[in-house]
Amino acid sequence: MAPVSIERALSKGLGHLLLQVLYSRLSLKGLQCSGVGHIFAIATVSCAQVTESFGFQKQERRHIKDYLRVTIRKQLALALQKLNHARTGDELRYRALRASAWTVGGNLTSVAIRLGSNLVLTRLLFPEAFGIMAIVQAIMVGIALLTDVGIEPAIIQNKRGHEPVFLNTAWTMQAIQGTLIWLIVCGLAPFVASLYDQPILASLLPVAALGAVLGGLSSTKLVAASRVLNIKKRVLIEVSSYSLGILLTILLAWIYESIWSLVCGGLIGALFC
């Protein structure tokens, strides 16, 4: 029997029959890498028994055994690859759902705290204070967006995002960005105060911009945790620091009844974030 005809016959009949018998008798579900050698040894013995039972010559049996050995090895490797892929997919799906739940829960909690604090602060401060703080926040957010270089997305997406050298470089750039925002706000403060005819903005803006400096000094470990969908720790820290800032804001507003309580509360929240 020619080798080509043997391979064709095995690929259509004997090889698939032997693999089906092995797969029916050996469960690949939950199989560890240490069990592959055991299955492969059983497959090799089965090859010898099958070829002898069919009455092949010695050289033909060797050729058949080699062919079946390669075929079984490929099939086992493919089965293990599919199994590991399924496990990885299920684990990733679970972590993604858990991270989404923590993110949604953190956002809803922050919104509820913000709504409750606004209801309290409107009873303690004059309405003009909220209008002035809206101007401050608009300028701060605008400058932050213009100077954003995508540090956080870079940590999450880059394949080196877990390396200490990469994280240290990102933290340095983050600190430089926060300092740059503060310098720009300090330079614009007199012009903004003149534009809105609110002299207090000239002193409010530089102090409020210190929050950007404090934010630039925050640890990149939280972003690295988000990279692996470990959102729980980050959400707890952000909600806790925000709640602490709100409580101190309400306390300062109750004591001093001044717009500076809003600024100081924001700085305290940024300090512990």
pLDDT at 268: 83
pLDDT in tens, the chain (273 residues): 444 444 444 444 444 444 444 444 444 444 444 444 444 444 554 555 554 544 555 665 566 666 666 766 676 666 666 656 655 556 777 777 888 888 888 888 888 888 888 888 888 888 888 889 999 999 999 998 888 888 888 888 888 878 888 888 989 999 999 999 999 999 999 999 999 988 999 999 999 999 999 888 888 888 887 777 778 888 888 888 888 889 999 998 898 888 898 888 888 877 776
Rg (CA), the chain: 33
Residues, the chain:
273
Q: What is the C-alpha separation between 143 and 242, in angstroms, rounded?
A: 22
Q: What is the C-alpha separation between 249 and 259, in angstroms, rounded?
A: 10
pLDDT at 273: 65
One-letter amino acid for residue 184 of the chain: I
pLDDT at 215: 87
Q: What is the C-alpha separation between 42 and 32, in angstroms, rounded?
A: 16
Both tokens assigned to 271: 């300090």
Q: C-alpha angle 161/166/171, rounded to 5°?
A: 105
Q: What is the C-alpha separation between 146 and 138, in angstroms, rounded?
A: 12
CA 37 vs CA 25, 41, 151: distances in Å: 16, 6, 47
Contacts of 220 (CB under 8 A, 6+ apart): 155, 167, 170, 171, 174
Which single residue is written with the structure tokens 């690929």?
A: 11
Beta carbons within 10 angstroms of residue 117's beta carbon: 19
Give this prediction's pTM: 0.62
Give long-range contacts, CB 8 A cutoff, 24+ apart: 143-151: 143/181, 143/184, 143/185, 143/188, 144/181, 144/212, 147/177, 147/180, 147/181, 147/184, 148/177, 149/173, 149/177, 151/177, 151/223
DSSP state of 54: T
pLDDT at 179: 93
Is 188 in a helix, a strand, or coil? helix
